[in-house]
Each structure stands twice: as structure tokens, then as C-alpha cells.
Copies of this chain bind each other. A is one copy, B any other.
Amino acid sequence: MALRTLSAKSAAALDQELMSTGAFSIDQLMELAGLSVSQAVFKLQPLNKGKRILVACGPGNNGGDGLVAARHLFHYGYQPTIYYPKQSKNELYQRLKKQLEDLKVPFTEDFTAALRQTDHIVDAIFGFSFSGEVREPFPKVISALRDTHLPVLAVDAPSSWNIEDGPPDSGPGKGFMPEALISLTAPKPLVKWFRGRHFIGGRFLSPAMAEKYGLDLPTYEAVDQIVEVEVEGQEKL
């Protein structure tokens, strides 16, 4: 089954609808999104295979999901480190940051050094609202993610990929193929080009909203907030 996907424009509209008529707060949605991400890390990186998780956070909602995930990872017994070079002044992100500081989770400004002291990486830099150019200081971060031999889990999109058109054919993200991807709420069109393990999170979508946006509600197990899916018909690069 080829999973139905959600364009960048529809993903933004769905988010907006969840928070208006859907009556969800961004705190709620981000908590559930970050929880999903943490559960995917738990599947990909068992605690006994290395507990150090480097979470690279961008300036927007994707970064916020990363901050929430890092908190849950701490409580599971991991040792997260946060790279968060462009911190939002938004009150929500400031609070998510404070929650990590209270757990004594370290923040680093040196991504290259942090990369040498981790077992796994979460790419929470850019999400479905990304388009255009990768701005400083992220080009060198994305090329490091491209070149590392460590496993990378991308949140919603491999950072620098075009949401509709997939991997860029130039720039630091050219050739960047993370080991795994977690699509939040629904896969974006870029999954057509993705090769790797693919998870879906967002176990809060109502059947009515799924129908309105033409989405499949995946079959989650038990109380899991994520499900791993196989997408047939993925194209080779």
C-alpha cells in the first residue's frame, strides 16, 4: 500500500485546523509529537546499544518536537545532549528548554565535537514548513549529518529536503539519507524518495480529519504512539 501523503500546504492547514476548530493547544500537540519521536528513538537505539543521543534542534516547531523528545528520552534512561543554536524567544520553546535544564541535560554549541561523543542523532532542524535555502549555521550541520556513520532519525523531513520534491540536487543536503524518518500526523510527499525505516506518529488524528484531508489512519499497536510502516513503490535515487 502506498501511504497517502500530505503536502506542505495541507500539513500547515491541518495543523491550523487542529489548533482552531480542533481545540488542541500547541503545548498538547508538541508534547504528543515529541513523545512519538522519543518512542521511535527507543525502537531504533536500544538502551544497551548506547545511550548518548544528540538532538539537533532548529528554530521552529520541528526543534520544539526535538526538545520534548529529549525530555522523554532522559526519563527513559538515555543521555541526551541538545544542539540548539537558533533559540526561539517564543515562550513555549523557552519553557521546553527550561524543562531540560532542570534535568541537567547539557546544551552544546559545538556540533562537530558533540558528534564525536554520541551514539545516535535526532535531526529536528527543519520540518514541513522548510523551503528554500539552508541558513547559517545549519549548512555545516547538515553536511555533517550527511557524512556521519552514526544513525540519524529525521523528524518529519530529512533537513534540507524539499517537502514535495525530496532530496536537493545541490547544497549540503545533497546525498543526505538518514537511517530513519518519523512522519508526524502523515507522511509528506518526500517519502517517495526516502529509503530507510519509516515511522508514523500522531495518534490523535480524528477519523473525520483523516477523511477530510484524505489520509490513512495507520494501525497502531497497544498504547504505542508510533507505528513502523513500509512504503511500497519508493523510488531509487
Seen from chain A, the residues whose Cβ lies within 8 Å of a Cβ on chain B are 22-25, 27-28, 31-32, 35, 38-39, 42, 71-72, 75-76, 92, 94-96, 98-99, 102-103, 203-204, 206-209, 220, 222-223
Contacts and interface: CB of A to CB of B under 8 A. Distances in A.
B39 A223 contact: yes
Across the A-B interface, give the 8 residue pairs with the lowest CB-CB distance, nearest first. A23-B98, A27-B27, A23-B95, A25-B27, A102-B206, A75-B203, A27-B28, A28-B31
B42 A75 contact: no
A76 B32 contact: no
Contact of A99 (B23, B39, B95, B207): B23
A110 to B, nearest CB: 26
- How many copies the complex holds: the figure is 2
A75 B38 contact: no
A22 B223 contact: no
Contact of A206 (B31, B95, B103, B207): B103
B95 A223 contact: no
A102 B208 contact: yes
Given A23-B95, A35-B35, A72-B223, 20 more contacts: A23-B94, A23-B96, A23-B98, A23-B99, A24-B95, A25-B27, A27-B27, A27-B31, A28-B28, A28-B31, A42-B222, A71-B204, A75-B203, A76-B220, A76-B222, A76-B223, A102-B206, A102-B209, A103-B206, A103-B207
Contacts of A204: 71, 75
Nearest to A73: B223
Contacts of A98: 22-23
A99 B24 contact: yes
A23 B93 CA distance: 10
Nearest to A209: B102
6 contacts: A25-B92, A27-B27, A71-B204, A72-B223, A75-B220, A102-B206
